[in-house]
Amino acid sequence: MTTITIAKGDGIGPEIMDATLQVMKAAGAAVHMEEIEIGEKVYLRGNSAGIDPSAWESLRKNRVFLKAPITTPQGGGFKSLNVTTRKVLGLYANVRPCVAYHPYVPTLHPKMDVVIIRENEEDLYGGIEHQQTDEVIQCLKLISRPGTEKIIRYAFEFAKAYNRKKVSCFTKDNIMKMTDGLFHKVFDEVGKEYPEIEKEHWIIDIGAARLADTPEIFDVIVLPNLYGDILSDVAAQITGSVGLAGSANIGDGFAMFEAIHGSAPTIAGQNKANPSGLLLAAVQMLIHIGQKEVAEKIHNAWLRTLEDGIHTADIFKEGLSKECRGTAEFAQAVIDRLGMKPKELPEAQYTGSLSSISVTITPQPLAVKELDGVDIFIHAKGILPDDLATKLQSANSAYLELIMITNRGTKVWPNGFPETFCTDHWRCRFKRKTTASINYQQVIALMQSIFASGLDIIKSENLYLFNGLPAYSAGQGQ
Ligand code: NAD
């Protein structure tokens, strides 16, 4: 008997969790459940994290979590509990298989069998946002080398363990050359260690278009967090319904299993939701805790239910489906088929768990880091770039001088175009005057002098050379 933590969540969560637990019980899962309350009710009683300390205790003790979707209230400082859980517990890999069940579930992509492996801890999901001026708000996109290496290695190890032939990587490194560029670079580096696996990189826009149009050309896809979040919904939906896909969030010694969809409030409480996503997540959970036979029994009964044309409303199609069932009745149909195998669809047979894949990070030597200048961000409304430059140049020192001003990343000084639309948010780049070393004291002196001129400094970013190479982006049009 293994003790796991469960949460019934919000919206359709309680219905799909009850359906899942009934199937698990009928299949003979040897699981003791500890239920915690998380989500909307916890948020609305004033806990902005959506989870109480006692719930963390249960999670940290049991280290296995089966979670129904929750509703994150919009705005108001509420942080997404899903993101917090994944990050606090170090669940770095989010594995989302998206499979077509042709000809039993209507889909335009009968041969689709794609596994999305989404980086789960960083990227824009740090949720580090600041309003800096009246007009401009920023969100920090953080991509780390160890975080990237972990997810890329996980993707290749997954492909190896599951006999997958190809790993594709999607990024937007033609624009974000440093952050997405790192993801791409590590993909190329790590990929060399897997000569038997085919690998390719796609710019995310065309990659996404091809995934939506011809998903059968893909096998395993590894992506940074935001792209993975968006494209796994697309991938699941084009198999027939977003309600069909389950996911596993894997960390070192900890795992959380959930459907990929959200709490679908518009259909909550109507016994309409498809419980399949959570049920397939529970199948992965059972494999994780060593109950492979129960997992296979449930998965195969579920496949047989689909084959028998017993469908929930989201995948029901007149002429193809036989019966449109509610959430609870669909679960009963799966229970009625426990012990049966699918007739046509490939039988589910598991060899190992997603959590048995472990990765180690290659230690990297520390680089030689050298201060090369500073970007100082100024809040100023209605000023012309040339006038701003004149004011800033009066702060030039013996060490640092103004070389460029950009607005929303586009160079507006020197030699800007009057056509470029400018907001009240200016990045002013000062670089060292000679190759002689500079220090942060000289940057502070420069900032004091700018402050004394009456300009409103919002923030600064140091410009560094790493191992002698510039480690900061150029201005657009520079
Ligand atoms: P959603 O995934 O909840 O639902 C979108 C639509 O997809 C629904 O209206 C419904 O038509 C369909 N759908 C989703 N799941 C289904 C199922 N099991 N069966 C049948 N149809 C299904 O997305 P949303 O409406 O954008 O988000 C609702 C809430 O869920 C938000 O508060 C969001 O923050 C939250 N959310 C939670 C998670 C999570 O807990 N992991 C994930 C995504 C969104």
CA of 223 from ligand 1 middle (Å) equals 21
Residue 87: what pLDDT? Answer: 83
Nearest CA to ligand 1 atom 6: 264
CATH of domain 2-356: 3.40.718.10
User: Quick one: what percent of the chain has pLDDT higher than 70?
Assistant: 100
Nearest CA to ligand 1 atom 16: 243
For residues 39 and 68, the answer to whether their CB atoms sit within 8 Å is no
Select 369-470's CATH number: 1.10.569.10, 3.30.70.1570, 3.40.50.300, 3.40.190.10. Answer: 3.30.70.1570
Q: Residue 126: is it exposed, middle or buried by C-beta count within 10 angstroms (0-12/13-18/19+)?
A: middle
| pLDDT tens digits, 315-356 | 999 999 999 999 999 999 999 999 999 999 999 999 877 778
Q: How much is the pTM? A: 0.93
Task: Say whether the peptide bond before residue 414 is cis (omega within 30 degrees of 0).
Answer: yes
Nearest CA to ligand 1 atom 25: 264
> Does residue 267's CB lie within 6 angstroms of at least one atom of ligand 1?
yes
Q: Which long-range contacts (CB under 8 A, 24 or more apart) does 366-370 make?
A: 367/466, 367/467, 368/466, 368/467, 368/468, 369/464, 369/465, 369/466, 370/437, 370/464, 370/465, 370/468
| Strand pairing category for 64-67 and 2-7 | parallel
Please state the separation of Cα 335 from the chain's center in Å.
33
Can you give the residue ranges of every domain in the chain?
Answer: 2-356, 369-470
> Does residue 262's CB lie within 6 angstroms of at least one atom of ligand 1?
yes
For residues 295 and 352, the answer to whether their CB atoms sit within 8 Å is no
Q: Which long-range contacts (CB under 8 A, 24 or more apart) does 172-179 make?
A: 172/203, 172/204, 172/205, 172/227, 173/203, 174/203, 176/141, 177/473, 178/471, 178/472, 178/473, 179/141, 179/142, 179/143
| pLDDT at residue 43 is higher than 90 | no
What does the alpha-carbon distance between residue 221 and residue 404 come to, in Å, rounded to a whole number?
A: 39
> Does residue 264's CB lie within 6 angstroms of at least one atom of ligand 1?
yes
For residue 258, the ligand 1 atom closest to its alpha carbon is: 41
| Residue 280 host element (H or E) | helix 276-288
> Does residue 276's CB lie within 6 angstroms of at least one atom of ligand 1?
no
For residue 274, the ligand 1 atom closest to its alpha carbon is: 19
| Strand pairing category for 166-171 and 310-311 | unpaired
> Does residue 314's CB lie within 6 angstroms of at least one atom of ligand 1?
yes
Q: Is 279 helix (H, G, I), strand (E, B) or coil?
A: helix
| pLDDT tens digits, 242-251 | 999 999 999 9
| pLDDT at residue 46 is higher than 90 | no
Helix axes 327-336, 292-307, angle to 10 degrees: 110
Would you place residue 61 in the very low, low, confident or very high pLDDT band (cuts 50, 70, 90)? very high
> Does residue 244's CB lie within 6 angstroms of at least one atom of ligand 1?
no
| pLDDT at residue 473 is higher than 90 | yes
Residue 83: what pLDDT? Answer: 83
For residues 321 and 309, the answer to whether their CB atoms sit within 8 Å is yes
> Does residue 313's CB lie within 6 angstroms of at least one atom of ligand 1?
no
Residue 349: what pLDDT? Answer: 92
The residue behind tokens 């002429």 is: 319
